[in-house]
Amino acid sequence: MRNLRSFPYSTISIVLIHVNILVSFKFSFTEGFDSVIQLPHSGSAGTRPRSKRVFYIDDFGAKGNGLHDDTEAFKNVWKTACSLSRRTKVVIPSGKSFLFHPIDIAGPCQSKVTLMILGTIVAPKNPDVWKGLNRRKWLYFHGVNHLTIEGGGTINGMGQEWWARSCKTNSSNPCRNAPTAITFHRCKNLKVSNLKVVNSQKMHMAFTSCMRVVASHLKVLAPATSPNTDGIHVSVTKGIEVKDCIIRTGDDCISIVSNSSRIRIRNISCGPGHGISIGSLGKSNSWSQVRDVMVDGAYLDNTDNGVRIKTWQGGGGFAANITFKNVFMENVSNPIIIDQYYCDSRHPCKNQTSAVKVEDVSFINIKGTSATEEAVKFACSDASPCEGLYLEDIFLLTNNGGRTRSFCWEAHGSSWGLQHPPACFCGCKSFIRQNVGLDSAIQSF
């Protein structure tokens, strides 16, 4: 290693400043993060206030032993609470485990309902329970407005047998649908907070065709090897905020797809998993649009991707007005990636000219370490190039402190501030001088 005294003071300062930024960024984001989203301790069920507005599921015949089917008891308590014209609360008490078979929980309700999950809701272990039923659903809320779900309890999808039967786990298995643990469809003014959702059969939590949603202080957990177990999935939804969540699964921590807009994601800890993804979009020549997305504050650890936009060839529509900012990454493969040649298929995907348009996408203040040398990848369509890409203050090294590189194909944009690796669509002189000095400093360590 060469003596640091041989380098100009300004060059050393640049490196040390950015090393300090990485350390302080990680410390401020990770230290105390668990405490920020600590689930509250559920209260004792020993003494219950009897109220005409509070309904306990075990007063409607639920056993809560994890073996007895408590689905009908929940249907009855929900029907009662939903039918009243005043604000009501349904309580899943602590210290018990309630077995729910697939269930539709329908609105509209006469008034606002709060579902307090203090204990545990578990799914049947055997996928055969879904025979003759919709295999995509387990807990399915639809048409319920002004619903609040909270309480610090757990929703357990018991997905182990589903994973074993998946074609992603064993290619000799048939590819079949599996349930999303909890789905919200056509719900407005929805709040979901202070819950743990674990081991879903497939996706953990999905918001489809919803409006005005806040999802916060959630822990979403499944093994890294569990197939297709996205943490939070957003589809055809407008106006959703996801904040202060820990997500560790076998697929995308957060996935955003078709016709969604006004999305705000803040303070997310992600990993393992596939990162934070917009897409995939345009599969089977479909039309999709995703716009007005802001990801501000995330820590990604050992994920297969960092912040990603993925589209299939042959699709239509656009992904636009998207910002990823203030993201720290540790040992992340593909930290920054736009892939318009995405193909998740057993067979090669054929080349097609049409594509989902990707434009006006910003990556700001993204720092950390990459598991691969190619830390920035923009693989865009020949017929519909990416336009309006913007990079600002990017600092990504390999795990051993080495240099990384960028790849661009049909990608057009600009950059500002520190750029490592150098942005492949920028050639301004000040940018080149800055990175030459930085590269020299990196080589010295």
* Residues taking part in catalysis: 274
Residue 139 CA to residue 127 CA, distance in Å, equals 15
Alpha-carbon separation of residue 322 from 55, 259, 330, 390 (angstroms): 43, 14, 23, 10
Instruction: Calculate the alpha carbon distances from 397 to 199, 237, 313, 412 in Å.
Output: 33, 36, 31, 23
CA distance 253 to 295: 13
- How many Å apart are CA 330 and CA 308, to the nearest integer? 16
Helix, strand, coil abundance in the chain, percent, nearest 5: 15, 45, 40
CA–CA separation, 354 vs 28, rounded Å?
43
Q: Which residue has the tokens 């599969």?
A: 283
Q: Give the whole-angstrom CA distance, residue 379 versus residue 356.
A: 13
Q: Residue for token digits 């003014």?
A: 189
Q: Can you tell me whether residue 297 is helix, strand or coil?
A: strand
- How many Å apart are CA 153 and CA 144, to the nearest integer? 21
Token pair recorded at residue 70: 């408590």
Q: Exposed/middle/buried for 168, CB within 10 Å: 0-12, 13-18, 19+?
A: middle
Q: Kindly report the number of other CB atoms within 10 A of residue 7's CB atom.
A: 16
> Measured between alpha carbons, how far is 207 from 101 in angstroms, rounded to an integer?
20
